[in-house]
Homo-oligomer: A and B are copies of this chain.
Amino acid sequence: MSGALRGNLMVGQSGGPTAVINATLVGVLHAAAAHAAIDNVYGMRHGVEGLLKEDLLDLEVENSTTLDRIRRTPAAALGSCRRKLRPDDYARILDVFRAHNVRYFLYIGGNDSMDTGNRIADLAGREGYDLRVIGVPKTIDNDLMYTDHCPGYGSAARYCALSVRDMGRDVEAMAGYDRVAIYESMGRHAGWLTAASCLGKETEVDPPHLVYVPEISFNEERFLEDVSRCFVKYGFVTVAVAEMLRTAEGEIVGLSEATVNSDSFGHVIVAGCANYLARQVRERLGIKARVNLPGTLQRSSMVNASSVDRDEAYMVGQAAVREAVNGTSGVMITLERTSNDPYACATGATPLAAVANTENFMPRSYMNREGNLPTDAFREYAEPLIGGPLPPVGRFSFTPVAKKALPAE
């Protein structure tokens, strides 16, 4: 029976950290400890980077207090990487696996990592090396295909919803002084995270008033009209924008003043459209505008994490071990929503080859016709993922006192 494969398990973390990727790791460690087929559990220091250098960690020496703490620690406790493997790296990886009798390879990451896992699985198959490869999803961008959502998204979404609500209260209090507040969210291609800014919105006056996502072509004139209209209506404006937006012609908005880099996968990385947009508001509308750029705080805030996300992240880690021990290989664990009310989710699996290097964009129906606010359909999708309602806030009824003083001169 294929389930009887005996050997060691190797686990690694890859790509941008999240608040809950360590919960997934601890899910893996707890499950691995419970399976007789798994002898030792090794951690890869900084993902495949450490694998290539044979920089491996003995994770069985860690006590339960450490694991409990790491489960609640943001970022990636093993260290992460963005290493793009070269063709000859794969043979080296297999050598390391052979030397350490690694039979279970679990890689926690996004679509690049699923590609890495897929290539390793292919090579092991071609070489006749019995290896079970499982990809474990993680990304705040929520852009992996064939899963209802990605661990890491719910927590970053909660951070976004709460931060934009807080920012809105702040600018509302300062109406007349600060006037337009722009929040720049991570998400260069998919707008899932930026759209989550609406999850703290209860009434029309609540933030955000305007939301712009990468999937919808950005029109600067229409943006300025939107801001003007909201300013007249509310006296202040709260905007959430993705870090990268493009015009209908494909041009990156505010490229001139953005920070441009490229990662080792060759992806162009642009951040900074919010500063450009704030400047347009100041210069072209003459309205004071300020920007909040929480940057990596979005993906590393544990105090803002979603309890649902934390639990699911742990669950996919456990499911990965279970699937591997049961003989599955070459798949990514998925989350399958079985019910929306009450919300319930189970794990499933999908071939790594299917998810590798693909991106899951928001359906157009998740944004309104104007392309400047998420719809109720989006809210219905995303709301259960942020782990319960945001802490309640209040507003006065603003009951006026009748004027009695003589009018001011």
Q: Which residues of A contact B (CB under 8 A)?
A: 13, 16-17, 42-43, 45-46, 49, 52-59, 61-62, 65-70, 72-82, 92, 95-96, 98-100, 162-163, 166-167, 169-178, 181, 259, 261, 263-264, 288, 290-297, 299-304, 391-401, 403-406, 408
Contact = CB atoms under 8 A, between A and B. Distances in A.
A294 B292 contact: yes
Q: Which label, helix, strand, loop or mixed, suits the secondary structure of the A interface?
A: loop
The copy count of this chain in the complex is 2
A29 B53 CA distance: 64
Contacts of A299: 170
Given A173-B75, A176-B46, A397-B62, A293 B293 contact: yes
Nearest to A92: B408
Nearest to A293: B293
B303 A79 contact: no
B391 A72 contact: yes
A42 B401 contact: yes
B171 A296 contact: yes
B58 A400 contact: yes
A20 to B, nearest CB: 13
B296 A170 contact: yes
A169 B403 contact: no
A398 B167 CA distance: 39
A304 B395 CA distance: 20
B77 A396 contact: yes
A297 B292 contact: yes
Contacts of A263: 177
Contacts of A404: 54, 99-100
Given A53-B408, A62-B396, A181-B296, 12 more contacts: A46-B176, A58-B400, A58-B401, A61-B397, A62-B397, A67-B394, A69-B394, A81-B176, A162-B301, A170-B300, A290-B295, A293-B293
Contact of A293 (B56, B291, B396): B291
A395 B75 CA distance: 11
Contact of A173 (B62, B76, B95, B264): B76
A262 to B, nearest CB: 11
A13 B175 CA distance: 13
A296 B290 contact: yes
Contacts of A96: 405
Nearest to A45: B398
Nearest to A51: B405
A80 B171 CA distance: 10
A297 B167 contact: yes
A290 B392 CA distance: 33
A268 to B, nearest CB: 15
Nearest to A171: B296
A57 B303 contact: no
A74 B49 CA distance: 44
B391 A296 contact: no
**Nearest 6 pairs of A and B residues by beta carbon:** A69-B394, A75-B169, A292-B295, A99-B405, A76-B173, A56-B401
